Amino acid sequence: MQIDRRTMLSILAGSAMAGAFPAMAQSKEVFIATYPGSVDEGFKAVVGPQIRQKFGATSAFSPMLNTDLIGRIQASRNNPPFDVAIWDNGPIITAKQDGLLEKFSEKDSPNYASMPANLRDPDGFGPAMALTSIGIAYNPKKIKTPPTSWNDLWNPEYKGRVGIVGPASTLGTTFLIEVAKLRGGSETNVEPGFAALKELLANVGAIPPNPGALTTALSQGQVDIAPNFFNNVAALKARGADIAFAVPSSGLPLQTVTAAVIKNARNAELAQKVVDLLIDPAVQAQLEAAPWIMMPANPKVALTGFNRDVGATVGEVLKRGIFLDWTKFIASRPGWVERFNREIRV
Amino acid sequence: MRASGTASGYLSAAPLALLFTVAYLVPVGILVIVSLSASTSGFDFTLAHYVEALTNGFNLGILSDTLVLGLQVSFATMLAAYPIGLLFMRCGPRGRAIIVFLILLPMLTNTVVRTFAWMIILGREGVINISLLSIGWIEEPMRMLYTRTGLIVALVQIFLPLMALPINASLARINDNLVKAAEGLGASRFYIFRTVILPLSLPGAIAGFLLTFAGSSTAFVSQTLVGGGRQIFMPLLIYQQAIGVQKWNAAAALSIVFAIAILAIVFTMNRYSRKYLRGMDA
């Protein structure tokens, strides 16, 4: 193929024009970082149209892990790639410490008043928009007795059938702490947890690299029982997979998913409104329904379907739940990741 | 005439050189600076991250294991590529076009997609296990996913084009009369392969080996998804340090150490093989 100078010039001019248009549309576009999987699909289907309808703005959603997100914002602090993001308990501490977030203007948010005190960021960076809970995921066709405790993973019958993930993820960190607590440890003393994981190795069939891959391993029959997020289990169950969720007798570990505005957001005012929209009962109710099955944070929203496996109301879920204090152990976590790499191997 | 020709040659290479400088050398420079600093906010010189990377036995174990993986994959890929090359050598233009097309075909699919395909093939309830169970060859599903063998098989398939194409190219250049002469003198097929075909195709094999080695030892996605979280190689270690626990400086130092280790191996092999090839000419 021959490209003469004129064609080349018109290609260059065309791409320059294309580059110019988003700049013109910038004032009316909001970029939101979501989580991979059903959360992202739900945001695209529910939140996107609402933003267009209520604020006349377009929106773009990017699913990614919080840890990736921190890296991307740090790489371009003055011109962050996102205006709004949702955060897990651990990474939001890092984001706050690094000054990546903007304070939430509570007085401009009509929906903020309905949020319980423990679902508001203690430093004023925004409300929790969803709850994620962690429990035991299992294949009911293979695991005939429904598990009731984390200790069930150590059942010799499940040799080679158990899946776990390392503490580089929220799931792995929570699992490690909960197991440590069962054996006399705590959020700050995970020594018994590591000892227990070493014993568990006899049963472990796979240590996938992250929670998403662990969910895939469960759905493909690579493992039959594993700690997992309720949301992942519910999404698979909604698609007809052989999977069930058991609440451990030691309590239901809960995380908040906090919606926060990113510092230096291109359109801070719109971003603040989007955070308010995310806790709006009508939006929350749509995200609560199948196929997204998000556990809403706003207590005004009624629970339906699979979410009722965890509790009858948001209030009841909050009452059953255990919140870990991430500020206590966030500094020890890198050490745990290294230790897991080193000790929990073949 | 000649001088101006060279000058215009330099000039036309300038845009690429500039792009290379801006898009590659500058980021690598920044990486070196970050690796020598104690924190990410401001520069504060320290060698601690290098000392840690080079004295921590666990990290060194991962580094050597990663390089060994690269060598294993490269040798296995070479074994897989030679039969294709020998077939290629015997084919006419039409057959050769079909072989090249078949080699290139998998490259039209993204590596991530091919990696997922391997997860489905190797899984406990994957294609291989289900087939073997149903014909009664095995009683229990075999463990293939998240094993080293499974990973090597997947990487061989993924990197095969990078090995097969240069090997084919050098095999195609071999003068057919040399093979015929050897046959005429009564050499066995294996003897011909060992003394005529293999030495003459070494330049292609070495090029393919180096490409496969550099590619497979750094193949983050495939290593992580097919290898699992229990086999840790350098790319996953660097990812965990940078993204998982936000130790950017340590991750940068590990990246530099890893890059130098790979470069050293590639450089040594290249030099050694050139010396060998030159010796063969003489």
* Residues A210-236: tens digit of each pLDDT: 888 899 899 989 999 999 999 889 888
Between the two ends of chain A, the Cα-to-Cα distance in Å is 54
Cross-chain Cβ contact A168/B126 below 8 Å: no
Q: How far is A20 from A14, CA to CA, in rounded Å?
A: 10
Q: What pLDDT does A22 receive?
A: 44
Q: Chain B residues with CB inside 8 Å of A213's CB?
A: 225, 229
Q: How far is B150 from B158, CA to CA, in rounded Å?
A: 12
pLDDT digits (tens, 9 = 90+) for B85-144: 999 998 999 999 999 999 999 889 998 999 999 999 999 889 999 999 999 999 988 989
Q: What pLDDT does A24 receive?
A: 44
Q: Where are the beta strands (DSSP E) in chain A?
A: 29-34, 58-63, 84-87, 101-102, 128-138, 162-163, 204-206, 225-229, 244-246, 252-262, 295-296, 321-323
Per-residue confidence at B3, pLDDT binned at 50, 70, 90? low
pLDDT digits (tens, 9 = 90+) for A74-126: 888 899 999 999 999 989 999 999 999 999 999 999 999 999 999 999 999 99
Q: How far is A69 from A74, CA to CA, in rounded Å?
A: 9
Residue type, B28: V
**How many other CB atoms are found less than 10 A from the CB of residue A166?**
26
Closest partner residue to B58 (CB to CB) among A165, A168, A342 is A342
Closest partner residue to A168 (CB to CB) among B119, B225, B240 is B240
Q: Give this prediction's pTM.
A: 0.80
- For A109, residues 6+ apart whose C-beta sits below 8 A from its C-beta are A127, A272, A275, A276, A279
Kindly identify which residue of chain B lies nearest to residue A345, measuring between CA atoms.
B230
Cross-chain Cβ contact A222/B120 below 8 Å: no
Phi, psi of A97 (to 5 degrees): -60, -35
Kindly identify which residue of chain B lies nearest to residue A221, measuring between CA atoms.
B125
Per-residue confidence at B7, pLDDT binned at 50, 70, 90? confident
The percentage of chain A sitting over the pLDDT mark of 70, rounded to a whole number, equals: 92
Q: What pLDDT does A8 receive?
A: 47
Q: What pLDDT does A150 receive?
A: 97
Q: How far is A95 from A70, CA to CA, in rounded Å?
A: 7
pLDDT digits (tens, 9 = 90+) for A290-325: 888 999 999 999 999 999 988 899 999 999 899 999
pLDDT digits (tens, 9 = 90+) for B168-192: 999 999 988 998 999 899 889 899 9
Give yes or no for residue B4 having a pLDDT over 80.
no
Q: Where are the beta strands (DSSP E) in A123-282?
A: 128-138, 162-163, 204-206, 225-229, 244-246, 252-262
Q: How far is A133 from A252, CA to CA, in rounded Å?
A: 6
Q: How far is A210 from B38, CA to CA, in rounded Å?
A: 29
Which region holds residue A305: left if phi is over 0, alpha if psi is between -120 and 50, else beta? left
Q: Which residue is listed with tokens 């690598």?
A: B28
- pLDDT mean over A131-159: 96
Q: Chain A residues with CB inside 8 Å of B126's CB?
A: 220
pLDDT digits (tens, 9 = 90+) for B204-235: 999 999 999 999 999 999 999 999 888 899 99
Q: What pLDDT does A25 receive?
A: 43
pLDDT digits (tens, 9 = 90+) for A234-267: 888 888 899 999 999 999 999 999 999 999 999 8
Give yes or no for residue A171 having a pLDDT over 60.
yes
Q: Are A111 and A297 in contact (CB under 8 A)?
A: no
Residue type, B152: I
Q: What pLDDT does B248 receive?
A: 86
Q: Does A198 touch chain B (CB under 8 A)?
A: no
Mean pLDDT of chain A: 90
Q: Are A203 and A160 in contact (CB under 8 A)?
A: yes
- pLDDT mean over A132-160: 96
pLDDT higher at A230 or B280? A230
CA distance B264 to chain A (A): 27
Cross-chain Cβ contact B40/A74 below 8 Å: yes
Q: What pLDDT does B98 receive?
A: 96
Q: What pLDDT does A9 receive?
A: 47
Give yes or no for residue B199 having a pLDDT over 80.
yes
Q: How far is B50 from B163, CA to CA, in rounded Å?
A: 34
Give yes or no for residue A138 having a pLDDT over 50.
yes
- pLDDT mean over A55-61: 95
- ipTM of the prediction greater than 0.85, yes or no: no
Give yes or no for residue A18 having a pLDDT over 60.
no
Q: Chain A residues with CB inside 8 Å of B119's CB?
A: 216, 220
Q: How far is A197 from A185, CA to CA, in rounded Å?
A: 13
Q: What pLDDT does B281 receive?
A: 60
